[in-house]
A and B are shown apart, each in its own frame.
Chain A
Amino acid sequence: MSAHASDKFVYHEPGLQHQFEDMKQQEESVSIGMWLFLAQEIMFFGGLFTAYLVYRSRYPMAFAAGSNHLNAFWGGLNTLVLIVSSLTMALTVYYAQKSNRNMQVIMIILTMIFGAVFLGVKGIEYTDKYNHGLVPMAGLNKRVKADKNAHHEVEKPCWEVDHNAPPVEHPNPRGEFLWTDCSLAKLAQDKNFLTPSERVGYFTGDQIDIEKFKGMVRIFYYLYFVMTGLHALHMIIGLGLMTWLLWTAWKRNYNSEYYMPVEMSGLYWHFVDIVWIFLFPLLYLLGRHFMH
């Protein structure tokens, strides 16, 4: 204050930035900015959910078949991990409001640990997809040489493949997307609940065509990788935010007067959690009651 040669004393709250009238205006401006960013993020993910909605409504059995090869245990575990990290994030904001620096730092570190566990589990899942030829891009799967001496079981029609059997390693010299099981298309055909698009999309003549069915399962895996990949990118950015927050909280930058950066980072983190809350049932849990 002494720098300004003012004859009037104006009370200035320590956390108030000069462009705002008062703390209330500052808080509301910062919040509305963050929420508009999140509205934009909702539209960003919304485009992918729209693509999902269109293709799933047309080819539900291909989506159910693809979904059954995702590991619901890892998906569910990651859901819980993210919920815990959301709790620790909410508590970070709580302790910032209480001017408790040490608990703030502990909660930020816990949030980061759970975020890292989430990404680790994601890595395990992606590796599994790589090993079983489920990445929908040629060349990005594990290459398995065709061995003439290897004992291969007799080729079965695709609708007789047991969808509960453990995945078999097939020769895959070019690392292409592999799919051999169309038993769910057969099930839907027998019980007469194929959608009109499926009646066209899976069949050549009156025979289920595994190549066509594989193409639709591939769309499911494409959406799986783009949606979870974009979500994982958000997690990585969130971890970057947390690193910065950890540093500034360590320096005692936040207290009951000024904690907006903590609150705004929290909004971002919770948003990423909410996206996963929808991704988990929509990607991992389709058609499980057909299977078991």
Chain B
Amino acid sequence: MEHDHMTIPKYLGVFAVLVVGTILTDYDATIDLDSIFPGANTLVALLIAFTKMACVMLFFMHVYWSPKLIWLAVIASFFWMAIMFAFTMADYFTRAAGVFTT
């Protein structure tokens, strides 16, 4: 069996990336990026979160060295979630908002 992919320094390296990501997330919330375009703050926070998630999945969960079938299960689950988000928001974003001028 091959299970010598990760060493303790590598685990600590991934851990350091996760800590830095958390600090960056916190910093991101205190500066006003929404003045660039609405939702920019959240977009940056989510990009950091996705990076952190990728680190955890690839290295802590060993997906990087896993068979193609595991990759398929991982990607498929996110694909299904993307469908759920996209179809739900396709409804909500295109509804008549019911704006009455006040």
Q: Which residues of A contact B (CB under 8 A)?
A: 23-24, 27-28, 31-32, 35-36, 38-39, 42-43, 46-47, 49-50, 53-54, 57-58, 72, 76, 79-80, 83-84, 86-87, 89-91, 94, 97, 193, 195-197, 199-200, 203, 205-206, 256-257, 263, 266-267, 270-271, 273-274, 277-278, 280-282, 285-286, 288-289, 292
Docked pose: A72 CA to B30 CA in angstroms = 11
Q: Which residues of B contact A206 (CB under 8 A)?
A: 102
Taking a contact as CB atoms under 8 Å apart, the answer to whether B38 and A289 are in contact is no
User: Which of B56-102 touch A at CB < 8 Å?
Assistant: 56-57, 59-62, 66-67, 69-70, 73-74, 76-78, 80-81, 84-85, 88-89, 92-93, 97-100, 102
A-B pairs under 8 A by CB, number = 155
Q: Which residues of B contact A86 (CB under 8 A)?
A: 15, 18, 56, 60
The prevalent SS among residues of B at the interface is helix
Which of B46, B80, B97 contacts A200 (CB under 8 A)? B97
Can you offer 23 A-B residue contacts whose CB atoms are under 8 A?
Answer: A42-B78, A43-B80, A43-B81, A50-B85, A50-B88, A72-B26, A79-B25, A80-B19, A83-B15, A83-B18, A83-B22, A90-B11, A94-B8, A196-B99, A200-B99, A257-B1, A263-B62, A267-B61, A278-B46, A281-B42, A282-B42, A282-B45, A285-B45
Which of B14, B25, B30 contacts A280 (CB under 8 A)? B25
The prevalent SS among residues of A at the interface is helix
CB distance from B90 to the nearest CB of A (A): 12
Q: Which residues of B contact A285 (CB under 8 A)?
A: 25-26, 28-29, 45
Interface centre among A58, A80, A267, A281 (most CB of B within 10 A): A281
Residue of A nearest to B91 (CB): A54
Residue of A nearest to B3 (CB): A97
Given the known interface contacts A83-B18, A94-B11, the answer about A35 and B32 at a Cβ–Cβ threshold of 8 Å is no
Docked pose: A195 CA to B98 CA in angstroms = 11
Docked pose: A76 CA to B48 CA in angstroms = 14
Q: Which residues of A contact B59 (CB under 8 A)?
A: 90
Docked pose: A97 CA to B49 CA in angstroms = 29
For the complex of A and B, 3 pairs with smallest distance between CB atoms: A196-B97, A39-B77, A285-B29
Residue of A nearest to B74 (CB): A35
Docked pose: A197 CA to B100 CA in angstroms = 10
Which of A24, A72, A80, A281 contacts B45 (CB under 8 A)? A281
Q: Which residues of B contact A277 (CB under 8 A)?
A: 49, 52-53, 56
